[in-house]
C-alpha cells in the first residue's frame, strides 16, 4: 500500500445484482473522503475459490485485506452465496468509512 492509497477488494460472483452498486458505493465513499485507492474486483468462480479466499458471499469488501464487517473474522461460512449486510445486499456507507479510517491508522 502506498501512503494514502488503500487497497480495496470487492469479491463477487458473476451475476451478483449487488456487485455494481457496491463498486459505485466504494467509488463514492473514496471520492468523498478525498482518497486515492487501488480498487480491485475479484471474481469468485468456484466453491474451492470461496474456501481459499474465505469468501463470505457476494459482494464482500475488504480494505487492506480485512473484511469491512468487524465480526467477519469470526465467521467460517465460506460459500458461493449472496451476502447480506443487515437487511441489505450492499454494505452501509458507515461500514466502509470506518474500515477506511481504521486502515489509515494502521
DSSP 13-42: -TT-TTHHHHHHHHHHHHHHTT---EEEEE
Q: What's the predicted TM-score (pTM) here?
A: 0.93
Maximal C-alpha separation, the chain: 37
Q: What domains can you pick out in the chain, each with its CATH number?
A: 7-105 (3.40.30.10)
Distance CA 9, CA 32 (A): 18
Pairing mode, strands 7-12 and 38-43:
parallel
pLDDT digits (tens, 9 = 90+) for 51-97: 999 999 999 999 999 999 999 999 999 999 999 998 999 999 999 99
pLDDT digits (tens, 9 = 90+) for 21-46: 999 999 999 999 999 899 999 999 99
| pLDDT at residue number 3 | 56
Please give the backbone phi and psi of residue 52, each rounded to the nearest 5 degrees, phi first.
-60, -40
Binned at pLDDT 50, 70 and 90, residue 1 comes out as very low
Amino acid at each position: 500500500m502506498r501512503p494514502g492509497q488503500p487497497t480495496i477488494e470487492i469479491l463477487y460472483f458473476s451475476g451478483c445484482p449487488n456487485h455494481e452498486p457496491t463498486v459505485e458505493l466504494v467509488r463514492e465513499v473514496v471520492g468523498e473522503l478525498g482518497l486515492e485507492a487501488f480498487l480491485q474486483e475479484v471474481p469468485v468462480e468456484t466453491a474451492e475459490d470461496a474456501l481459499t479466499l474465505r469468501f463470505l458471499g457476494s459482494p464482500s469488501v475488504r480494505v487492506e485485506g480485512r473484511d469491512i464487517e468487524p465480526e467477519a473474522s469470526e465467521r467460517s461460512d465460506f460459500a458461493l452465496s449472496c451476502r447480506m449486510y443487515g437487511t441489505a445486499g450492499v454494505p452501509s456507507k458507515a461500514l466502509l468509512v470506518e474500515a477506511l479510517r481504521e486502515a489509515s491508522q494502521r
